[in-house]
Structure formats: structure tokens, C-alpha cells
Structure 1
Amino acid sequence: MPVRRPARIALAAVAVALLSVTASGCGDRGGLRAAGATPTAVSPAKLWPDLRPASSPAYPYAVSTRSIVKGVKVPGDDIHKVDPVDVVEAEIKAEPDDYGSKGAYHGTVDRLKDCRPGGDGTRCPLLKPYYRDLTGDGRDDLTLGFRLYPTNQTAVRVYTVEKHRLVQVLADNDAILGVELAGRALIERSPADISGYEYRTTWVWDPGQRAMVFSRDEYLHTGDGRKTTKPSRSATPSPSPSATHSAGTSSAGTSSAATPSAGTP
């Protein structure tokens, strides 16, 4: 079951700029120069010290998901040999409430048939798979993305291999602008409710929970909301050479991820 994250609340962002001025005159030999008076340090002010601390969270918040994928074998414990279409079909079978005829993502089921040989690749909801060691065990893990029709959401999944079994260690559904792999972290970019802003959610591996856990949710200013900046070609990673599946694009954007060799931190 994917993580059901609560609705985010837009927070006003306050930017603090640090200005450093270096003056150099003609003939200056590089000696030390005074930078002026140093501002007096101000300690944080603790508000409402008598406020009774909360003893429980305001709402349920699942920070991780972990489950064994049933019905999908891993030949030779090599995750590269796992068919991504089989993986998505296993999820569809395990989650009838989501993918059944009355489920929110029922449109994905029919389109997934076009991911097989001979199908219409432009209708395939499965995005190209990416491989990188996210768990730190020295072996590649599998990052999958697939569109959740008829909604504008994209499913983001991460899988690893444990004891000859395929294990899902991250499951999140969101409206996606892009997905990035930075070291062993997965970062999702999603549209915010205010033009010119976006959410960036970071997931990292937690050895204790044996899963990718929610680490950070940022609300960032990306522009004035009137112009669309085309990303540079150098910033767009290429898919894994072993990827064999593709999917059509949508108005919600496409997911992308960097693909270094296995074990690259």
C-alpha cells in the first residue's frame, strides 16, 4: 500500500541573505583588513515555555512502507533480471481496491497491456526503470515509476532483493514534476498550490526499518510563476542501459533519475 501523506500546508518562506564584501585597492598586497564591527549574537527566544507538550501526533503519518512482492522471482538474485511489467502487475493484483474497475487507478490496468511486446508503447504507463544502490549493500536496487490513470499522479516505487525475494521498500503516489537520485537519497519534485513554488520530498534508507523513509519536505520558490525555464541538457540524466520499457508523457511531467554504476554512493 502506498504512503498516504496528509495534505501539505503552505508555509511562508523567509530568506536570510549573508553578504560578504571584499575590498581591494590598487597596489594592495593582500594584507588583512578590518571587516567592521561584529554584530552582537542573539540567542533563540523560546516561546510559551509553560505550554504542555503534545503526547501524540496530530494525525497519522506513515513515513515508510515495506512489503514482499508476491509472485515475482529474482533469477540469480539479480534485480536487473526482474521484469518491471511483472512487478507492476503484482501490485495491481495485490491492491484490487486501487486498481479494480471502481478503483482510483483503474485506467492503468488496461494500458499496462501495451507495455508488453507488440503493444502500443505510447500508451504504456510504465516509465523507464533505473538502477542504483540505495540501501548501501553494494548491489543495485530498482526504482520504478508508472502513471496512475486516469489521475494526474505518478507512482514511485523502490525495490531491493533480500533472501532471494523482491522487497518493496518505498511506495509513494504524487503529482510529479520530476524525480532525482542524489547519492542514496530519492527526491520527488511536486507542484505546489501557489504558482512559482514547488514541493521537494526526500526519502532515504533507514537500516532500522529496512525501508526508504520520509526525511524532508521542502516548500521552495522556483520562479515568478510567469515563465517556464527549460532545464539544461546536462541536468537531464540518461536511463539505465538495461531499461527496456517506456511510457508516454503527460501534463503532470515525467520522472527522471541519475543512473551511475552499482555501488556508487
Structure 2
Amino acid sequence: MRTLAFRTVIGLLLLPPLAACGDPGGLVSAGPTPTASGPVRLWPWREGADVPPAPPGGVPPVYVQGLAPVHDQNVHEVDAVALVRADLRAHRGAVVGADGMPKETADAIGACGTEASERCPVLDPYYRDLTGNGKDEVVVGIELPDHMMSVRAYTADPDGRLNRIMATTETVIGVELAGQNVVLRVPSGHPGYELISTWSWDDKQRSMLPTREQIVRVPARPRTS
């Protein structure tokens, strides 16, 4: 019996040690995993609308005439006011739409830099590579009446010509640059919420397109004592 007990003790000492609770090298259960479920298509028998195919060549950008070509696609060489004036001349008389400009704003832009100018509507430009070609584009904001703003973006082609790749007019809360995107925050029509519209470069269309829109809740402002 003593020999058997001695062998049993020796056998237990030779067994590999069990992983202790909390051993950093051991596997620890994370609990039950939720069952993955894919999207469920509603009314699958319904015939959806047809999406017309895009034109083979895409929509070319709008060439801004009347400006000297820039060197090495450097849009920093262009004066923002001169750029907007040239754009307006190409669409003289347009009041609404992407090309539109209220007459009082167009007149104020024409007076920028003169003694008759009280406040130039063309805001300081911002520069960012929006197309991913390693060259900056220029983003211009134009203040319009009633808190509206025309936001435009221009790029230079390999020949140095300026091309407008974005133009939209909105009642704007704020404008941001996020990576290669231009982000507009506008009122959503629902109290306490705003609409965020993200404009991104589309290589096929060769212009900026609103690629994402979302309605978000505006954080409550902290009460002041």
C-alpha cells in the first residue's frame, strides 16, 4: 500500500500544471455570442424602379473661362474673387440653381476690393486635395442673403485650366473639410435635428457628388446659470 501511494504522488507531480484562473495565456469566455442576421428584404415581389445608366463619358467639369492657366496645377496662384467673377460671367443672369447668384450678391462681388465695397461676399478660400491626385483644390464660400451660402470647389487640369467640380447653394449651418470630403451641415426641417451632406470626388463623373446624407440630432446646449 505504501509503494502504491508513493507511485501515485510521483505520478501527480509529473502531470502538466493546469492553467490557473486568470492565467493571461489561457482562453477566457466572452459570454454568449449574438446570432448574426443578414438584411431581410421587404416586399421582395415588388418590381423596383429602374436606374438609368450613367453616360459613358461621365459629366465633365465646368471649365471657367477668362483666367490665365496656372503653373503645375497650383490653384494657390488664383485669386478667389477673380475666380468667382469669371464663373459668374460665364453664367450671367442666372439667379437660381448651382450657377445662380442673387443680383445684389453679384453686384457686391463686382465691387470687392473697391471703395464701394462694404463687405465682400467671397470668403477666404480653403485648400485641400479633394481628387486624390496629390494637388490641392480650392474651396470657395460665397455669403448670400438669409444665411444661405454658395459652396464651390475648383481644380486645375494638367493644362492649368480651372474647372469647377462642385457648386451647391444651401441654407448652411457650417461647412467642414474631412479628409477628401466637403461636409455641409444644413437645417433638416425637423426641430432639434440637422442634415449632414457629404460631397466626395467621383472619378467617373470627374466632379464632386453628394455621396452621403444623414440626419443627426443636435446636442442640447448646456444651461447657463
Q: Which residue of 2 aligns with 1:182?
A: 178
Distance, in Å, in 1 between the alignment partners of 2:142 and 2:222 is: 25
**Which sections of structure 2, spanning at least 5 residues, go unmatched?**
1-20, 53-57
Q: 2:107 is matched with which residue: 106, 110, 120? A: 110
Compute the displacement of 1:125 (Å).
Answer: 0.6
- Kept after mapping to 2: 8 A contact 1:192/1:198: yes
Compute the displacement of 1:140 (Å).
Answer: 1.4
Does the alignment pair 1:165 with 2:173?
no
The letter for the 2-side match of 1:161 is A
Distance, in Å, in 1 between the alignment partners of 2:89 and 2:207 is: 22
Q: Which residue of 2 aligns with 1:195?
A: 191
Instruction: Pick closer, same or farther for the CA change 1:104–1:79 going to 2, 3 Å.
Output: closer
- Kept after mapping to 1: 8 A contact 2:60/2:206: no
Compute the displacement of 1:33 (Å).
Answer: 4.8
3-state SS of paired residue (1:96): coil
Distance, in Å, in 1 between the alignment partners of 2:214 and 2:59 is: 18
- Show the 5 A alignment for 1:82-231: 82-99=78-95, 105-118=102-115, 120=117, 123-148=119-144, 150-162=145-157, 163-224=159-220, 227=221
Compute the displacement of 1:35 (Å).
Answer: 4.1
The letter for the 1-side match of 2:170 is D
Q: Deviations over 1:166-218 (max 9, x none)?
A: 00011111111111111111111111212221111111112222111221011
The letter for the 2-side match of 1:111 is A
**Which sections of structure 1, spanning at least 5 residues, go unmatched?**
1-26, 58-62, 230-265
Q: Deviations over 1:35-61 (max 9, x none)?
A: 44333333432211110121247xxxx
Alignment RMSD (CA, Å): 2.9
Does the alignment pair 1:74 with 2:74?
no
Q: Which residue of 2 aligns with 1:49?
A: 44
Compute the displacement of 1:82 (Å).
Answer: 1.0
Does the alignment pair 1:40 with 2:35?
yes
Higher RCO (C-alpha under 8 Å, 6+ residues apart): 1
- Could you list the runs of 4 or more consecutive aligned residues of structure 1 that deviate by over 6 angstroms after TM superposition? 27-31
TM-score of the aligned structures, taking structure 1 as reference length: 0.63
TM-score of the aligned structures, taking structure 2 as reference length: 0.73
Q: Deviations over 1:96-123 (max 9, x none)?
A: 33349xx7611102221442154545x2
The number of residues matched between the two structures is 192
